[in-house]
């Protein structure tokens, strides 16, 4: 297994390209199952999770053809063809490694009348149940049975029918499954307390391009007019706001300046507002967003919550950055119950962090010191990379596969803007 080795201290500077959004890609790929026509997705990030999702779909009989993009280019275009679906099962091995596999459930039951998907089980950042996904599909007439670790969903005769779905809490994945299923259900579906994340908007736009009719896009009430058939489309994945936010933190923590090329300022309100509050200069440019450090970082009080509030997927990266701020910050995690696993690793690098339940108090220190560190999830890994970029000496981040799930060619992007970072084979 590889590790990332970083010699800290270099202020980053230059232009850094932002890839297509992982979380948008993972909900756009299963849309291919909704139609017998080809779906072409452009700007798909080259990530382990995107490959994994492709393999899951291949196992269902979906063909995937990658267009001739050069291996040096970021992103790629894939045409998916689900003319014939040979299996409606998402096996344990896929779902265990990639929770987003659950997103085949809605499209499969809507098009094929049945789906069998392994239960995802626990994961590093908490229990993460799928009850809301299942209840939403039941509202559209699905019958759900759970046996031997699998969810078996069956549509009534005549297929799914429109219904009313009111989510008790906001769920990105459950909203996505509901939207995909409702797009092929007969009649109208009203989804209340829907997630409003930009990735949901991206999904809605793709579904509309495929022939679905959706009102209220970007709001908490979505009305879907289901269609008997959906067609193919040619759709480009939105830029990754979490990747862009992570690299903005890299500029901040190293006292540098970056232009995040391709980032969309409109999707990043809460992230950029928090960065400005720490003292970073943030401005839109013709090509993206420019962020520039401006003296020592100021501390923050932040709470994660569904969009448009501050995202849980940025909490770990902000914690690394605030470990070097001029004073005490208070971070509260309201989405996942176990998302502070980076804290002991950051502490080993000299950070002063105390966790009390869902709240972490981060007292800024003058310096961090490089160390061997190990991460348990994707965003936690990035927080350790950020800490390493600013730390004195060498940091070795182990378990790089987490980073490969969500950051396209991280060490290449960072070294191009002045970081001393490389990948080594773990001995």
Q: Which is nearer to ligand UD1, 31 or 100 (CB)?
A: 100
> Can residue 174 be called a binding residue for ligand UD1 (CB under 6 A)?
yes
Q: Which is nearer to ligand UD1, 129 or 187 (CB)?
A: 129
Q: Which is nearer to ligand UD1, 67 or 169 (CB)?
A: 169
> Can residue 96 be called a binding residue for ligand UD1 (CB under 6 A)?
no
Residue of 31, 123, 206, 249 marked active site: 123
Stretch that binds ligand UD1, among 157-165, 167-175, 360-368, 407-415 (CB under 6 A): 167-175
Strand order in the sheet with 39-44: 63-66, 76-81, 39-44, 233-236
Residue 148 structure tokens: 């031997």
Q: Which helix (H) or strand (E) holds 268?
A: none
Residues 296-335 that bind ligand UD1 (CB under 6 A): 311-313, 335
Return the closest-CA partner of residue 288 out of 310, 255, 318, 258.
Answer: 258
**One residue of 18, 44, 95, 100 binding ligand UD1 per CB under 6 A:** 100
> Can residue 184 be called a binding residue for ligand UD1 (CB under 6 A)?
no
Cα–Cα distances in angstroms (integers) from residue 281 to residues 252, 254, 308, 329, in the given order = 9, 14, 21, 19
* SS3 category, 278: coil
Q: Which is nearer to ligand UD1, 123 or 208 (CB)?
A: 123
Stretch that binds ligand UD1, among 29-37, 55-63, 126-134, 275-283 (CB under 6 A): 126-134
Length of the chain: 427
Neighbouring CB atoms inside 10 A of 59's CB total 15
**186 DSSP assignment:** B
- Contacts with ligand UD1 by CB under 6 A: the residue count is 20
Compute CA 195 distance to the chain's CA centroid, rounded to the nearest angstrom: 14
Read off φ and ψ for residue 317, nearest 5 degrees: -65, -40
> Can residue 23 be called a binding residue for ligand UD1 (CB under 6 A)?
yes
Return the closest-CA partner of residue 219 out of 239, 237, 201.
Answer: 201
Which x/- pattern over 328-367 shows residues binding ligand UD1 (rule: CB under 6 A)?
A: -------xx-------------------------------
> Can residue 169 be called a binding residue for ligand UD1 (CB under 6 A)?
yes
* 204 carries an active-site annotation: no
- Half-sphere exposure of 190 toward its Cβ, with a 13 Å CA cutoff? 4
The structure tokens 């996505």 sit at: 176
Shortest distance (Å) from residue 92 CB to ligand UD1: 18
Q: Which is nearer to ligand UD1, 29 or 34 (CB)?
A: 29
Q: Which is nearer to ligand UD1, 45 or 311 (CB)?
A: 311
The structure tokens 């058939």 sit at: 229
Shortest distance (Å) from residue 202 CB to ligand UD1: 11
Contact (Cβ atoms closer than 8 angstroms) between residue 321 and residue 278:
yes
Tell me which residues are annotated as active site.
123
Q: Which residues bind ligand UD1 (CB under 6 A)?
A: 23, 26, 100, 126, 128-133, 169, 171-174, 311-313, 335-336
């Amino acid at each position: 297994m590889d590790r990332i080795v970083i010699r800290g201290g270099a202020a980053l500077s230059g232009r850094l390209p932002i890839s297509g959004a992982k979380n948008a890609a993972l909900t756009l790929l299963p849309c291919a199952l909704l139609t017998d026509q080809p779906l072409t997705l452009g700007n798909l990030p080259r990530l382990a999770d995107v490959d994994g999702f492709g393999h899951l779909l291949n196992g269902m009989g979906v063909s995937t053809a990658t267009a001739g993009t050069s291996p040096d280019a970021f992103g790629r275009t894939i045409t998916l063809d689900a003319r014939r679906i040979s299996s409606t099962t998402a096996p344990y091995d896929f779902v265990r490694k990639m929770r987003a596999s659950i997103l085949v459930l809605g499209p499969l039951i809507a098009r094929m009348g049945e789906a069998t998907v392994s239960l995802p089980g626990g994961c590093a950042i908490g229990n993460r149940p799928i009850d809301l996904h299942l209840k939403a599909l039941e509202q559209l007439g699905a019958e759900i049975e759970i046996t031997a670790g699998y969810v078996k969903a069956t549509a009534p005769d005549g297929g799914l029918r429109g219904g009313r779905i009111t989510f008790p809490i906001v769920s990105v994945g459950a909203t996505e499954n509901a939207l995909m299923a409702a797009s092929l259900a007969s009649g109208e579906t009203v989804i209340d307390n829907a997630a409003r994340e930009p990735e949901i908007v991206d999904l809605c736009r793709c579904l509309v391009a495929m022939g679905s009719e959706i009102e209220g896009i970007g709001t908490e009430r979505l009305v879907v007019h289901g269609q008997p058939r959906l067609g193919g489309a040619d759709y480009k994945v939105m830029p990754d706001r979490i990747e862009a936010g992570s690299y903005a933190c890299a500029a901040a923590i190293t006292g540098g300046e970056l232009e995040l090329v391709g980032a969309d300022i409109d999707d990043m309100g809460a992230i950029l507002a928090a960065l400005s509050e720490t003292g970073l200069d943030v401005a839109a440019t013709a090509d993206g967003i420019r962020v520039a450090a401006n003296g020592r970082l100021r501390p923050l009080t932040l709470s994660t919550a569904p969009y448009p509030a501050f995202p849980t997927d940025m909490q770990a990266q902000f914690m690394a950055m605030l470990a070097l701020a001029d004073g005490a910050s208070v971070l509260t995690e309201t989405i996942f119950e176990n998302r502070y696993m980076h804290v002991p690793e950051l502490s080993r690098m000299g950070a002063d962090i105390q966790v009390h339940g869902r709240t972490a108090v981060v007292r800024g220190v003058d310096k961090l010191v490089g160390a061997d560190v190990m991460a348990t999830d994707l965003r936690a890994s990035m927080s350790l990379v950020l800490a390493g970029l600013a730390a004195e000496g060498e940091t070795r981040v182990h378990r790089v596969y987490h980073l490969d799930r969500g950051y396209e060619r991280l060490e290449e992007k960072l070294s191009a803007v002045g970081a001393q970072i490389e990948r080594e084979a773990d001995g």
